[in-house]
Amino acid sequence: MKIAVAGTGYVGLVTGVCLAEKGHIVSCVDIDERKVALMSSGISPIYEPGLDELMVKNLNRLNFTTHYREAYKDADVIFIGVGTPEKHDGSANLTYVYEVAEQIAESIEKDCVVVVKSTVPIGTNDKIEDLIKTKLVHNVNVHIASNPEFLAQGTAVRDTLHPARIVIGVEDQDPGKVLKEVYNKFDAPVVLTNRKSAEMIKYASNDFLALKISFINEIANLCEIIGANVEDVALGMGYDSRIGNRFLNSGIGYGGSCFPKDTKALHWLANFHDYELKTIKAAIDVNENQKLKLIKKSRKYFDSLKGLSVAVLGLTFKPGTDDLREAPSLVNIPIMLEDGANVKAWDPVGIENFQRLHPNGVSYCHSIEETLKDTDICFIFTEWDEVKDFDLSKYNELMRNPIILDGRNCYDLLNVRESKIIYDSIGRETVNTLEVSLV
């Protein structure tokens, strides 16, 4: 089929490339000429494992362009995959989605299905339909379908090629048939429903996962107080298939471009309809506090970080991505700097993006060893493999005071006990607390 995709961020680009991999002819549209030139030569502008290889492999079926009219005019299916960032009040900003909808209306010259992949508030597909139908230039039939995306950054290619489910929201049968054809080479259950339910499935899924994380983080906080071990608690809970063992890792809170934005957007939408989503509100509140967990822990060791040398391992919101959106590092490092700390930071792929946001004040290092050298305290914000595989004895060798505050529970407590480090993680006992006499 001839497919056009609007937007080449995580959702748009990965969708386009994976549809080409399944044999479709795909035109990806973006307004940024520099990005289009890069992608045309088989280079992905986003860091996503496996994506460049798949782009190069399918370049004969892929086209990247800034000329939306050319891409849309005779497409069978047009996917909208542009961003819906958070507005100041927590609601979703739909400017880009509506801009694309207008461009589609003025461009299409044959019947087609417009598929909304971007995460949009419930009811937006209806508005897109009205907008496109009132602004159509040519006399064609256009159907609007909701087809939310469930890929996660870092595993986007795998998630898209092997989805857990394909959700299709339509108001009549024809677009549903077209979308089933688009996905006929994907091996996944299809949930066929109406558009509002499809839109809600996306928000409810993300918000449930966010709630699951905030729930285990609260349990972790209580575990610390009463002396239980949250990892054992999560393990014991997870064997119950009604609960499941995934997304029960406690830490310094969820970040990224999706959970923070989608929890706030659904909460805002409910409020707008005079309904308070209390569980989602709790997930948001717990997460805001959790992000400051390590700074609060640091006060046990030092009243202030003033004049101290601080090591930071990991800047991105999770491993496998260079994305910093809503990353705990963004909240914590400014507090350290405000305290007057000398901050040294390491991340395998996130430094460039962090540097753009914080051009001054932080020294960036090429290795974990260089970061730890002569520091007084170390904060772990991202569970990169390099951190998890790091030889624990080196903390002791390299740091002035081997105090490790681990926001991602990277190490087994048994191994930590054998080393001489002071190790404070989330929801687990602090190891080697006796040596705490540094304040």
Alpha carbons 273 and 91: distance in angstroms, whole number = 13
* Helix runs in 84-172, H state only: 95-107, 124-135, 156-161
Q: Which of residues 145-184 bind ligand UGA (CB under 6 A)?
A: 149-153
Strands 342-346, 309-313: pairing is parallel
Q: Which of residues 115-144 bind ligand UGA (CB under 6 A)?
A: 119
Using the contact rule CB under 6 A, the part of the chain among 121-129, 191-199, 244-252, 274-282 near ligand UGA is 244-252
Angle between helices 278-290 and 259-272 (to 10 degrees): 140
Amino acid letter, residue 218: E
Residue 365 falls in the annotated catalytic set: no
Which is nearer to ligand UGA, 13 or 71 (by Cβ)? Answer: 13
Using the contact rule CB under 6 A, the part of the chain among 1-9, 121-129, 206-214, 425-433 near ligand UGA is 206-214
Using CB under 6 A as the binding criterion, the count of chain residues that bind ligand UGA stands at 20
- Give the length of the chain: 439
**Closest approach of ligand UGA to the CB of residue 138, in Å:** 33
Using the contact rule CB under 6 A, the part of the chain among 70-78, 122-130, 243-251, 296-304 near ligand UGA is 243-251
Which is nearer to ligand UGA, 175 or 251 (by Cβ)? Answer: 251
Alpha carbons 61 and 72: distance in angstroms, whole number = 16
Which is nearer to ligand UGA, 155 or 396 (by Cβ)? Answer: 155
Residue 251 contacts ligand UGA per CB under 6 A: yes
Which is nearer to ligand UGA, 150 or 183 (by Cβ)? Answer: 150
Which of 247, 282, 420, 429 lies at the binding interface for ligand UGA (CB under 6 A)?
247
**Closest approach of ligand UGA to the CB of residue 154, in Å:** 7
Which of 143, 318, 358, 428 lies at the binding interface for ligand UGA (CB under 6 A)?
318
Spatial CB neighbours of 150, under 8 Å, sequence gap ≥ 6: 159, 163, 164, 165, 202, 205
**Closest approach of ligand UGA to the CB of residue 265, in Å:** 11
Using the contact rule CB under 6 A, the part of the chain among 21-29, 182-190, 255-263, 341-349 near ligand UGA is 255-263
- Tokens representing 217? 């983080």
Residue (of 135, 115, 134) closest to 125 by Cα position: 115
Residue 301 contacts ligand UGA per CB under 6 A: no
Alpha carbons 303 and 333: distance in angstroms, whole number = 17
**Closest approach of ligand UGA to the CB of residue 57, in Å:** 23
Backbone angles phi, psi at 179, to 5 degrees: -70, -35
**Closest approach of ligand UGA to the CB of residue 202, in Å:** 7
Residue (of 304, 316, 287) closest to 381 by Cα position: 316
Residue (of 118, 279, 272) closest to 204 by Cα position: 279
Using the contact rule CB under 6 A, the part of the chain among 30-38, 86-94, 241-249, 414-422 near ligand UGA is 241-249
Which is nearer to ligand UGA, 170 or 266 (by Cβ)? Answer: 266
Residue 433: DSSP 8-state: G
One DSSP character per residue, 310-373 reads EEEE--SSSTT----TT-HHHHHHHHHHHHT-EEEEE-SS-HHHHHHH--SSEEE-SSHHHHHT
Annotated active-site residue in 258, 365, 378, 410: 258
**Closest approach of ligand UGA to the CB of residue 142, in Å:** 26
Which is nearer to ligand UGA, 153 or 371 (by Cβ)? Answer: 153
**Closest approach of ligand UGA to the CB of residue 44, in Å:** 16
Spatial CB neighbours of 106, under 8 Å, sequence gap ≥ 6: 69, 135, 137
Strands 77-80, 2-6: pairing is parallel
Spatial CB neighbours of 395, under 8 Å, sequence gap ≥ 6: 372, 378, 402, 404, 419, 421
Residue 248 contacts ligand UGA per CB under 6 A: yes
**Closest approach of ligand UGA to the CB of residue 49, in Å:** 12
| Residues taking part in catalysis | 258
Q: Which residues bind ligand UGA (CB under 6 A)?
A: 119, 149-153, 206, 209, 213, 247-249, 251, 254-256, 258-259, 317-318
